[in-house]
C-alpha cells in the first residue's frame, strides 16, 4: 500500500471519529478536532514542498463559529468541484479544515510549487499573480487551490496577502488527501452512472467487466464552467481525462484546432510519453470530466500505447463509409493485422507503386502526412485521419498518390497504421469486398427483426443466403391493406410509406422492415405499403422458405 493510500485511510478514520455521532453534531461536531488538525498538519509535513513548510508557520488553531461554518458552506456551494457534496461530506469537510493567519505581503501559495491545500478565505484581501503579473483579487468567501490538487500539478499562480496596513489574511484549509478522497467519494456515489458511461467509451471497449470495474472505482469526477481551462499547454500531467458531459475546445499555441465532446478523451500524450501537456483544453459549456491516473491505467491496461493506438484505429475505421459496414469482430481482426510503422519527417512513404508495395489504406496515429496527386497537394492528414478508401473498394487499382511524413508539435515524424491488400484478403476470406459488405448489411438488418431473435447463427446464415431482392419505383404498391400476406420485407435502399385507411401514417427507411407477422400468422395486412422514392430495393423472406429454415434446425427455440 502506498504512503498516500495510508494517509488517505488515516484521514478517513479521523473524519469518522469526528462524525461517528451525526445526531450529536450540533453540540459535539468539534470534539477531537484539535487532534484531527494537528495530525492533518503533521501528515501534510511529510511532503517536503515549500508550501507545507511555509504554511506550518501560520497554523493557528481556533474553533469554528456558526458564522465560520456558514461561510465555508456557502463557499463550497459556489465551488464547481464541491457543489456535489452531500450533507455528511460537507460536515466532514468542515471538520477537517485547519485555520491559518497570514501576515500582509506573505505568499499563501507560490506558482510552480507543489500544491498541498485547498483554501477558503475567512477574512482579508488577497492578490493573484501569474508570472509576476497581477491577474485577480480574492476576498472573504472565495475558494482557491483546487486545480493543483485535482490534477496533481504545480500551482499555476501565486496567491499573496495584499500588502496593505491593517490587512491580515485568515484562511481555512484542507489537505490534498482529504480533498482528493472527497472527490473519490463523489465518484463512488455515482458508480452506476460512471460504469454505464465507461461502456460507451471506445478506448475501454475490449476490457473485461472486472477491469472496467477497477477503472470505475478509481475515477475522479471534476466540473468546469464555460471558459475555464481544464489543463494548460506546457503543464506537467499524469492523468487521462474522459468527457462525461459537455464539450471542450483544444488550443495549441493559442489557436483552436478542434472540439471534443462526450465519450472522447484527452491527455493521452502526457501519460504515454511522460511529456508536458501538448495543448490547452478549455470548457465550451458546463463540463463534467472523470480522470484516471497513469499508474492505474498501466495496472489495468498494461501496454498503454497499444490500447490508445488501437482505439485511434478503431475510430478511424468506424468513420469510413466502407469499414463501418464491417462487423465488430472483423474490425478487431483487421486491427490485429495492420502494420504500424514510424517515419521520419520528410520521408516519402508512398509514391505510386514505387516504394511500399500493397498498401491499400492508412491511419495516422501520431504526427501528420501530406498527400498529393500528380504534384498537386490534396491535404495534410493528422492523428485519427485516414486515407485510401478508393483503394479498398478497388483492390486492383494501382496506388497513384504520394504520401510524405510531416511533423506536428515536438514530434520529428509520424506513426502510421498501414492496411495491406493481403490483410484485406485475410479478413474477406476469399470473398470480394462487395459480397462481404452485402452479407454484413443483411446480417445487421436481420439482427434487428424481433421475431427472428431466437434463430441460431446457422439459421440466420441460411436466411441471408436465400434472401431475394425486388425493386420498385415511386408510387408502386408493394401490398394493399386487407390482403393475405406471406412475405417479410427489409428495406435495402430507398423509402416506403405506410398507408392506413387512405392516410399516410409514417415512412420507413434503410434496414427498416415490415410485414413480419405474415411469417407467423395467416391474417390480412393491416395497412398498405407504397414505394416513396424513385428507386426502392427490398430484401424479401417468403413464409415457405422461412419455415423450411426453421424446421431444418428443428425449431425456433424458446
Q: If DSSP states are collapsed to H, E and C, what string results for 386-450? A: EECHHHHHCCCCCCCCEEEEECCCCCCEEEEEEEEHHHHHHHHCCCCHHHHHHHHHHHHHHHCCH
Q: Which residue has the higher pLDDT, 304 or 344?
A: 344
Is-same-fold flag (3-178; 315-428)? yes
Distance between CA atoms of residues 60 and 72, nearest Å: 17
The per-residue pLDDT for range 4-19, each reduced to its tens digit, is 434 433 433 333 333 3
193-225 residue pLDDT tens: 888 888 877 777 767 788 888 888 888 888 888
**Assigned C-alpha cell, 439:** 452479407
Q: What is the pLDDT of residues 405-445, one digit of tens each?
A: 987 665 678 889 998 888 888 887 766 777 788 888 888 88
Instruction: Say what the pLDDT of residue 15 is.
Output: 33
| Residue 41 pLDDT grade (very low, low, confident, very high; cuts 50, 70, 90) | very low
CATH superfamily of 3-178: Jelly Rolls (2.60.120.10)
- Whether the per-residue pLDDT at 161 is higher than 80: the answer is yes
In which band, very low, low, confident or very high, does the pLDDT at 187 lie, cut at 50, 70 and 90? Answer: low
Instruction: Give pLDDT, residue 302.
Output: 73
* Domain range annotation of the chain: 3-178, 190-302, 315-428, 440-552
Q: Higher pLDDT residue, 99 or 354?
A: 99
Q: What is the pLDDT of residue 2?
A: 42
* Distance separating alpha carbons of residues 38 and 121, to the nearest angstrom: 20
**Phi, psi of 17, deg, nearest 5:** -60, -45
What per-residue confidence (pLDDT) applies to 538?
94
Q: What is the pLDDT of residue 430?
A: 66
Provide, rounded to the nearest whole percent, the portion of the chain with pLDDT above 90: 22
The per-residue pLDDT for 410 is: 59
Provide the pLDDT for residue 49: 59
Task: Let me know if domain 315-428 sits in CATH 2.60.120.10.
Answer: yes
- Can you name the CATH fold of 440-552? Jelly Rolls (2.60.120)
Contacts of 476 (CB under 8 A, 6+ apart): 530, 531, 536
pLDDT tens track for 235-283: 887 888 999 999 999 998 888 888 989 888 888 777 776 777 888 999 9
At 66-117, the pLDDT tens digits run: 999 999 988 888 776 676 677 777 888 888 888 999 999 999 998 888 888 9
| Residue 1: pLDDT band with limits 50, 70, 90 | very low
Residue 549 scores a pLDDT above 70: yes
Q: Provide the pLDDT for residue 71.
A: 92
Residue 141 confidence (pLDDT) above 70: yes
pLDDT-derived band at 333 (thresholds 50, 70, 90) equals confident
Does domain 190-302 match CATH 2.60.120.10?
yes
228-238: pLDDT as tens digits: 889 888 888 78
Residue 291 has pLDDT above 70, yes or no: yes
Residue-wise DSSP of 32-98 = THHHHHHHHHHHHTTS--HHHHHHHHHB---PPPHHHHHHHHHHHHT-TTTTT--HHHHHHHHHT-E
Judge contact between 384 and 309, C-beta under 8 A: no
The neighbour count for residue 56, using CB atoms within 10 Å, is: 13
Q: Looking at 2-11, 58-67, 213-222, 386-395, which range is the least confident one? A: 2-11
Amino acid at each position: 500500500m502506498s504512503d498516500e493510500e495510508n494517509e488517505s485511510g488515516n484521514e478517513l478514520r479521523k473524519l469518522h471519529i469526528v462524525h461517528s455521532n451525526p445526531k450529536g453534531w450540533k453540540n459535539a461536531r468539534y470534539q477531537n478536532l484539535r487532534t484531527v488538525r494537528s495530525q492533518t498538519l503533521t501528515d501534510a509535513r511529510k511532503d517536503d514542498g515549500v508550501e507545507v513548510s511555509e504554511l506550518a508557520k501560520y497554523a493557528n488553531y481556533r474553533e469554528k463559529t456558526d458564522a465560520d461554518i456558514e461561510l465555508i458552506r456557502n463557499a463550497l456551494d459556489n465551488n464547481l468541484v464541491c457543489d456535489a457534496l452531500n450533507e455528511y461530506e460537507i460536515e466532514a469537510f468542515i471538520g477537517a479544515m485547519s485555520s491559518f493567519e497570514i501576515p500582509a505581503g506573505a505568499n499563501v501559495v507560490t506558482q510552480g510549487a507543489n500544491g498541498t491545500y485547498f483554501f477558503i478565505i475567512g477574512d482579508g484581501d488577497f492578490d493573484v499573480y501569474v508570472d509576476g503579473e497581477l491577474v485577480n483579487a480574492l476576498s472573504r468567501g472565495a475558494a482557491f487551490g483546487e486545480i493543483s490538487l485535482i490534477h496533481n500539478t504545480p500551482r499555476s499562480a501565486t496567491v499573496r496577502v495584499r500588502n496593505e496596513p491593517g490587512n491580515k489574511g485568515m484562511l481555512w484549509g484542507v489537505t490534498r488527501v482529504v480533498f482528493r478522497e472527497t472527490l473519490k467519494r463523489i465518484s463512488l456515489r455515482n458508480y452506476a452512472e460512471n460504469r454505464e458511461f465507461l461502456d460507451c467509451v471506445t478506448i475501454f471497449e475490449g476490457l473485461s467487466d472486472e477491469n472496467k470495474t477497477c477503472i470505475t472505482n478509481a475515477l475522479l469526477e471534476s466540473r468546469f464552467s464555460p471558459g475555464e481551462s481544464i489543463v494548460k499547454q506546457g503543464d506537467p500531467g499524469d492523468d487521462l481525462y474522459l468527457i462525461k458531459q459537455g464539450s471542450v475546445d483544444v488550443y495549441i499555441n493559442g489557436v483552436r484546432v478542434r472540439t471534443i465532446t462526450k465519450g472522447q478523451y484527452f491527455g493521452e500524450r502526457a501519460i504515454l510519453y511522460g511529456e508536458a501537456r501538448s495543448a490547452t483544453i478549455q470548457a465550451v459549456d458546463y463540463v463534467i470530466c472523470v480522470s484516471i491516473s497513469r499508474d492505474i491505467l498501466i495496472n489495468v491496461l498494461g501496454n498503454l500505447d497499444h490500447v490508445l493506438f488501437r482505439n485511434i484505429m478503431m475510430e478511424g475505421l468506424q468513420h469510413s463509409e466502407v469499414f463501418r459496414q464491417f462487423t465488430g469482430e472483423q474490425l478487431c481482426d483487421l486491427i490485429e493485422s495492420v502494420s504500424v510503422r514510424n517515419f521520419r519527417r520528410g520521408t516519402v512513404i508512398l509514391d505510386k507503386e514505387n516504394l511500399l508495395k500493397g498498401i491499400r489504406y492508412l491511419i495516422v496515429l501520431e504526427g501528420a502526412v501530406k498527400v498529393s496527386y500528380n504534384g498537386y497537394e490534396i491535404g495534410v492528414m493528422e492523428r485519427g485521419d485516414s486515407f485510401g478508401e478508393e483503394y479498398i473498394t478497388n483492390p486492383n487499382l494501382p496506388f497513384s498518390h504520394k504520401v510524405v511524413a510531416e511533423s506536428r508539435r515536438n514530434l520529428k515524424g509520424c506513426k502510421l497504421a498501414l492496411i495491406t491488400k493481403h490483410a484485406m484478403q485475410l479478413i474477406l476470406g476469399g470473398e470480394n469486398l462487395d459480397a462481404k459488405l452485402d452479407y454484413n448489411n443483411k446480417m445487421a438488418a436481420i439482427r434487428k427483426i424481433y421475431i427472428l431473435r431466437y434463430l441460431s447463427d446457422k439459421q440466420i446464415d441460411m436466411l441471408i443466403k436465400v434472401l431475394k431482392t425486388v425493386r420498385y419505383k415511386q408510387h408502386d404498391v408493394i401490398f394493399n391493406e386487407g390482403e393475405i400476406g406471406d412475405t417479410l420485407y427489409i428495406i435495402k435502399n430507398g423509402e416506403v410509406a405506410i398507408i392506413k385507411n387512405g392516410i399516410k401514417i409514417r415512412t420507413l427507411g434503410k434496414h427498416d422492415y415490415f410485414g413480419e407477422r405474415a411469417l407467423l400468422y395467416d391474417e390480412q395486412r393491416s395497412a398498405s405499403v407504397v414505394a416513396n422514392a424513385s428507386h426502392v430495393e427490398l430484401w424479401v423472406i417468403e413464409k415457405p422458405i422461412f419455415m423450411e429454415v426453421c424446421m431444418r434446425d428443428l425449431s425456433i427455440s424458446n
